[in-house]
Amino acid sequence: MKRTFIALFSLLILASLVLTACGPKTTPTPEPVATEAPSEEPVATEAPAEPAAVEKTVVVGFTASLTGKYEVSSTRQTNGLKLWMDQVNAAGGVKLADGTVITFESKFYDDESSTDRVQELYTKLATEDNADFLISPYSSGLTAAAAVIAEQYGKVMITTGAASDSVYKQGYTLVYQAYTPSSRYLTGAVDALANADPDAKKIAIVYENAKFSTGVVEAMKAYAESKGYEIVLFEGYDKDTTDFNPIINKVANAQPDAVMGGGHFQDGSAFAKQLYEKNIESIKFVALLVAPPEPTFAELGDAAVGVVGPSQWEPLAAYTPDFGPTSVEFEDAYKAAYGEEPSYHSAGGYVAGLILQKAIETAGSLDTDALIAALDAMDMTTFYGDIQFDTSEELHGLQIGHSMVYIQWQKDADGNLVKQVIWPLGGATAELIYPIR
Amino acid sequence: MKKWLNPGLWITLLITVAIGIWPIITQEAAKREVIFTVLMAIVFASSLNILLGYTGYVSFGHVVFFGLGGYVGMYLIKEYEASIWLAALAGGIAAGLLAFLLGKAILKLRGAYFALVTIGVNEAMRAFVNNFQPFGGPIGLELNFKVYKPYGGPADALWMVYYATFALAILVAVLSYAVKQSKFGLSLMAIREDEDAAEVMGVVPHNAKTWAFILSAILPGVVGVLFFFKNGNIEPAGAFRLHYSIENLVMVMLGGQGTVLGPVLGAFGYQRLRGFLVTNPIFKNIQLSIAGGLLLLIVLFIPAGAVGWLRNRFPRLRRVLS
């Protein structure tokens, strides 16, 4: 018995020694080289006619939620980013003004969907791994923690999967947002309602009491009120709510023309289903966060019909890109690579890479100041939509070019449930069904 | 006087200093972040040990003090532009106050009932903050980047937070030792062994337990302020994460509950193991399973924790390991 203990203990000691040895290396980390000057090239005796193509691999660092509650969305985002990287590298990389050819390499760690280690991991990425650029984690909370590190080490960070506005009000200068900010998530639904029925005036707002959804509905409420709408109900629910009947009774009493709000997938779907079962006569329009754009929302059957949802990107929305692939090209490549339909998270990951690529191409160098200038001046259209950033001091980096598309579940001629883009009208693939019943 | 010369204290201090001084010598930011996580766990686990190890009460929801302290501190920094030191102090006081009120109310409970109630308290606090507008409700609080300016910019501010956490880790080791050597500590251990017998011997269990609870709450409250200040934002889900309390329970048990050195070793071992697995190219995709498996093995074979096992195995070590 004793012997086993001794053996076990020595094994433990050994393991801990190995762990310490494998820990962060103590070798001094060289300063990240921001500009790769070609002057380093050996002066050849036989002067070359053109500068030899210097290859440089740029490290793009980020954390992904491989475990925890953001796993699905984060994995899709990472897949999108990887697809971009593979395509760019396969196409030979990006050529700089001085002839250097840039290829990309990713470096990422699991953040476990929790803020605990985000700063530790981003600091490691920025210093030990010498990441040249950073991409944000998934979700606004994790991104807020990562942004501090990006700013501190002077690394440009493209955020994706992080819609909250507040990150861009903190005085950062190197953080750029790919998503439409949450303050504009549901304002388009209000516009769509106004367009469909100028007489509808009463909106009930039912939302999940969480960071993201509260930010969305507060901005939407202010917007709706400024447009003359009356908010007849403003009701938050806890994140794990499954029985919405008490809330739906309040909705029924308020007799709204429209119901808006929602939260995440589970609660949003359950709410839509129970609202449908209650069959409240006055409701002519339902717009909910997050759940409707997911393909699995169709499993609700008739309850899904007519529900409107905001999406960062839909394959149907046909923008004419002036940079990067078209929607169809992206969709096909994504399906070929991962065997599933891309979601807007995937598109968000891909477009974060595109933004980086475009900035490097425009700047013609990897110099941070030149890249900031390129990003500040960026105004491009991709398959994902327009990309432009706020350059004011108070809101620097906030996405102002991109806007949401709104889908509605409708029945096609055969009675199958299909998603149709109904807003903005420019990209609409079908007319809004109004009233829904 | 003699008790301050005990090697048990000095070995613990030496190990804590050895852990904390490493990034200061190399001046590497990445190492600082890694050790910051460890030091934070040392403060939290050693504090928890006063309740869990000395008094024998399991507090699952101990993270409530970390979260509340963090919130109070962040609120003062954001709304009143308080300095980090004042905010940290306020965070500690708020956590201590909550522990006092809770202690009066729930420390009459014993065993599993107490453990369950602490979970409930944490959930209740999360729900409360989620609906409490001055703390930002579900959106939480975010600090403007310029908040780090008075401390010499973000880089210096992060170092400063590190030094402060390092100091706290040393303080908690001294505190933990002082409690263990005191009469008060003896009464706690008497409660742990047999609460009724302790009462007969003249210990007032309810008072002693309340003080132990308060002592174990203050420093997690302070370190909460430091962590969220460094993080730049706080939100309910992150501040009251039950998972973090449970991890800290594991650290205490891993190192050896009821010992001064145990939580320090446990925190270091556990956090370094997790940190290593999470960044290792081979293990990073299955890191949680590996960590879980290793913990299972350790708990199965060394239930008294590393220090407890050493003390049992080599009785002579009892003089030097406390």
A260 pLDDT tier (thresholds 50, 70, 90): very high
In Å, what is the CA distance from A318 to each residue of A246, A295, A334, A421? Answer: 41, 19, 17, 10
Residues in chain B with CB shorter than 8 Å from the CB of A147 are 232
Q: Number of CB pairs < 8 Å for A and B?
A: 136
pLDDT given at position B39: 96
Interface test with chain B among A5, A63, A75, A119, by most B beta carbons within 10 Å: A119
Residue A25 CA to residue B151 CA, distance in Å, equals 29
Residue A112 in contact with partner chain B when CB distance is under 8 A: yes
Q: Which pLDDT tens digit goes with each residue over B249-273? A: 989 988 998 999 999 999 999 998 8
Structural domain contains residue B182: yes
Q: Give A341's contacts (C-beta < 8 A, 6+ positions apart).
A: A295, A315, A331, A334, A335
Q: Which helix (H) or strand (E) holds A411?
A: strand A405-411
B273 closest CB neighbour out of A19, A124, A210: A19
- Residue A418: strand pairing partners: A410
Place of tokens 């968000």: A348
Q: Which pLDDT tens digit goes with each residue over A163-207? A: 988 889 888 999 999 999 999 999 999 999 999 999 999 999 999
Structural domain contains residue B198: yes
pLDDT given at position B3: 74
Residue A426 CA to residue A225 CA, distance in Å, equals 25
Structural domain contains residue B195: yes
0.80 exceeded by pTM: yes
HSE-CB for B322 with a 13 A CA cutoff: 22
In Å, what is the CA distance from A75 to each residue of A137, A338, A348, A350? Answer: 10, 11, 12, 12
Ranking A24-28, A159-163, A219-223, B48-52 by mean pLDDT, the lowest is A24-28
A381, A320 in Cβ contact below 8 A? yes
Average confidence (pLDDT) over B70-81: 96
What dihedral do alpha carbons A245, A246, A248, A251 form, nearest 10°? 170
Q: Which of A414, A428, A228, A170 is nearest to A317 (CA)?
A: A428
Phi/psi of residue A270, each to 5°? Answer: -65, -40
pLDDT given at position A360: 95
- Complex prediction ipTM: 0.81
Structure tokens at B136: 């930002």
Residues in chain A with CB shorter than 8 Å from the CB of B284 are 66, 109-110
Contact at CB, A211 and B301, closer than 8 angstroms = no
Interface test with chain B among A6, A12, A130, A140, by most B beta carbons within 10 Å: A12
pLDDT given at position A52: 60
- Residue A169: strand pairing partners: none
Place of tokens 């998934």: A138
HSE-CB for B229 with a 13 A CA cutoff: 36
Contact at CB, B233 and A145, closer than 8 angstroms = yes
pLDDT cut 70: percent of chain B above it: 99
Residue A39 in contact with partner chain B when CB distance is under 8 A: no
Residue B163 sits in which domain range?
2-242
Structure tokens at A392: 């004011």
Average confidence (pLDDT) over B238-258: 90
Residue B99 CA to residue B64 CA, distance in Å, equals 10
Residue A169 in contact with partner chain B when CB distance is under 8 A: yes
In Å, what is the CA distance from B85 to each residue of A109, A293, B21, B82? Answer: 33, 47, 22, 8
B285 closest CB neighbour out of A66, A152, A153: A66
Ranking A13-22, A145-154, A392-401, B185-194 by mean pLDDT, the lowest is A13-22
The CA distance from A335 to the nearest CA of chain B, in Å, is: 23
Average confidence (pLDDT) over A364-390: 94
Average confidence (pLDDT) over A245-249: 95
Is the pLDDT at A21 greater than 60, yes or no? Answer: no
- Domains of chain A, each with CATH number or no CATH: 53-180+317-388 (3.40.50.2300), 184-311+404-427 (3.40.50.2300)
Residue A295 CA to residue A344 CA, distance in Å, equals 11
CB atoms near residue A297 (< 10 Å):
23
Q: Which pLDDT tens digit goes with each residue over B287-306? A: 778 777 877 887 788 888 88
Residues in chain B with CB shorter than 8 Å from the CB of A29 are 28, 30
For chain A, what is the radius of gyration of the CA atoms?
25
Residue A64 CA to residue A75 CA, distance in Å, equals 7
- Most distant pair of Cα atoms in chain A: their distance: 88
Q: Which of B119, B74, B70, B79 is nearest to B238 (CA)?
A: B70
Ranking A276-290, A309-323, B27-41, B118-132 by mean pLDDT, the lowest is A309-323
Structure tokens at B1: 């006087």
Residue A67 in contact with partner chain B when CB distance is under 8 A: yes
Is the pLDDT at A19 greater than 50, yes or no? Answer: no
A227, A172 in Cβ contact below 8 A? no
Residue in A closest to B157 by C-alpha:
A152
Residue B86 CA to residue B164 CA, distance in Å, equals 13
Contact at CB, A16 and B146, closer than 8 angstroms = no
* SS3 of B118-187: HHHHHHHHHHHHHCCHHHCHHHCEECCHHHHHHHCHHHHHHHHHHHHHHHHHHHHHHHHHHHHHCHHHHH
B25, B212 in Cβ contact below 8 A? no
Residues in chain A with CB shorter than 8 Å from the CB of B230 are 119, 148
The CA distance from B64 to the nearest CA of chain A, in Å, is: 15
- Give the count of domains, chain B: 1
Residues in chain A with CB shorter than 8 Å from the CB of B29 are 123, 126-127, 153
Phi/psi of residue B228, each to 5°? Answer: -75, -30
Residue B141 CA to residue B139 CA, distance in Å, equals 7
- Identity of the amino acid at B240: F
- Identity of the amino acid at A328: V
Residue B227 CA to residue B225 CA, distance in Å, equals 6
Q: Which helix (H) or strand (E) holds A105?
A: strand A101-110
- Residue A34: strand pairing partners: none
The CA distance from B188 to the nearest CA of chain A, in Å, is: 31
Contact at CB, A144 and B142, closer than 8 angstroms = yes
**Cβ density class B108-144: b for 16+ within 10 Å, e for less:** eeeeeebbebbbebbeebbeebbeeeebbbbbbbbbe
A85, A159 in Cβ contact below 8 A? no
Structure tokens at A247: 């809330």
A38 pLDDT tier (thresholds 50, 70, 90): very low
Residue A364 CA to residue A371 CA, distance in Å, equals 9
Structural domain contains residue B112: yes
pLDDT given at position A427: 78
Residue B10 CA to residue A131 CA, distance in Å, equals 41
Contact at CB, A141 and B31, closer than 8 angstroms = no
Residues in chain B with CB shorter than 8 Å from the CB of A175 are none
Structural domain contains residue B100: yes
The CA distance from A68 to the nearest CA of chain B, in Å, is: 11
A4 pLDDT tier (thresholds 50, 70, 90): low
Residue A119 in contact with partner chain B when CB distance is under 8 A: yes
Residue B317 CA to residue A335 CA, distance in Å, equals 63
Q: Are strands A202-208 and A230-237 parallel, antiparallel or unpaired?
A: parallel
In Å, what is the CA distance from A125 to each residue of A32, A76, A227, B70, B153? Answer: 11, 21, 46, 26, 20
Residue in A closest to B287 by C-alpha:
A110
**Helix, coil or strand: residue A304:** helix
Contact at CB, B34 and A120, closer than 8 angstroms = yes
Structural domain contains residue B136: yes
Q: Where are the alpha helices (DSSP H) in chain B?
A: 7-26, 29-49, 63-80, 84-106, 111-130, 153-181, 183-193, 195-200, 205-231, 236-239, 242-255, 261-279, 287-301, 305-313
Residue B222 CA to residue B165 CA, distance in Å, equals 9
Structural domain contains residue B40: yes
Return the ∠ at Cα B41 (arms to B212 and B20), rounded to 5°: 115
Structural domain contains residue B170: yes
Residue in A closest to B140 by C-alpha:
A211
